[in-house]
Chains A and B, each alone.
Chain A
Amino acid sequence: MDYKYIEQLIDRYFQCETSLQEEQILKTFFAQEEQDVPEELRQYMPLFTAMQAGETLGNDFDDRIMQLVKEPTVVKARTISLSQRLQPLMRAAAVVAMLFMLGTAIDRVIQIEPQVGDEINYSAYKDTYDDPTMAYDKVEDALRLISDGFSMVQRTDSARIDSLITGLR
């Protein structure tokens, strides 16, 4: 695996040139198990781990505040279950696994005149649905399947590495 991309991101991080998304990539990358992080990069783990938001206030705080505030109308509160909150974090590790697939900045070559052959003829596309709401439903399902696929890639990779290690023993 090519970690030049991560090394580049780290350099840019200290130069204050990274975007929020790139910083999240670094945090996610270093949130992996130590054995999954290459040795030369492990020195950065404490730094990015320290950036994970930790401290929280309990529900009793909410009760206290609502008592003091005495809001007149009862509004339906948004409740997010624990599993819902954890889900994105687990998927994020899959993002890292897929990064190397996308042809990151260092892979980009000098721009050459794009060939006509690269252009897709979109005018030939006939929409299945006329209603954006229906189209959105399908698109959402598809995007969810893609991100599930990424998660499965990550799990498969770990399993492969595990069996490789076991095989070597």
Chain B
Amino acid sequence: MKRTALLFLALTVQMVGLAQRSLDFAEKFLTLCKNDSSVKCVTVSPKMMEQMVKRAADGWENNYMQAIAKLKSMRIVTAAADYYQKAEDLLTKNNRRFKAEQDYRTDTQHGAFYTRKNKKGETVELIMLHENCNKNVFTIINVTGDIDEEFLCFLYNNKTFKN
């Protein structure tokens, strides 16, 4: 009896453990839009990120390599503009996990940034919602990795500040 109980307990713990394995925001959103073929997603896995970095080491030129080296994954989701609200609602629903940061608005575009931080206060996930009103296109860019000041600087490739 005791052994069965222990086994059951072990199984439960393992299942809970699996259930706690997380998804990035894009995955949550795609699950929400599961049967919707108009929602497309491009996935770049950690393995692919590594491959790109390796290619750069072999002399393959590209500008964002240093920024890419700090990323674990990237997801690019595209859908029609009316999905923006859906994404926003999902983020609000999960606001303990994803924190709303800055938003922006121009004549033709608007969007917002969200972050997820780990226990150390480091940003490990960055989500960008972006709508191009003219083209009626909604994009989610979801990256995970080392999103810190250095990543930002590499994004701006600051060696071009000098002439």
Contacts and interface: CB of A to CB of B under 8 A. Distances in A.
B161 A92 contact: yes
21 contacts: A25-B153, A88-B156, A95-B156, A101-B101, A103-B121, A103-B122, A109-B121, A111-B120, A112-B119, A114-B118, A115-B119, A118-B118, A132-B55, A139-B52, A139-B64, A142-B74, A142-B141, A145-B128, A145-B130, A153-B103, A155-B104
A104 B64 contact: no
A140 B48 CA distance: 14
B43 A88 contact: no
A101 B156 contact: no
B3 interface: no
A138 interface: yes
A153 B43 CA distance: 26
Interface of B: 17, 20-24, 41-48, 51-52, 55, 62-64, 67-68, 72-74, 76, 101-106, 109, 111, 113, 115, 117-124, 126, 128, 130, 139, 141, 143-144, 147-150, 152-153, 155-158, 160-163
Contacts of A122: 45-46, 72-73
A99 B113 CA distance: 13
A139 B119 contact: no
Interface in A95-121: 95, 97-99, 101-104, 107-109, 111-112, 114-121
Nearest to A23: B158
Interface string A116-132: 11111110011111001
Contacts of B124: 118
A125 B23 CA distance: 10
A147 B22 CA distance: 27
A135 B160 CA distance: 25
Contact of A128 (B17, B43, B141, B158): B43
Interface SS of chain A = helix
A8 interface: no
- Name the prevailing secondary structure of the B interface residues: mixed
A74 interface: no
Interface residues of A, number: 58
Contact of B149 (A104, A115, A128, A156): A104
Nearest to A103: B121
Nearest to B157: A88
Contacts of A156: 102-106
B48 A132 contact: yes
Contact of A109 (B111, B119, B147): B119
Contacts of B139: 145
Nearest to B155: A147
A65 B124 CA distance: 50
B97 to A, nearest CB: 9
Given A88-B158, A132-B51, A145-B141, A21 B150 contact: yes
Nearest to A141: B76
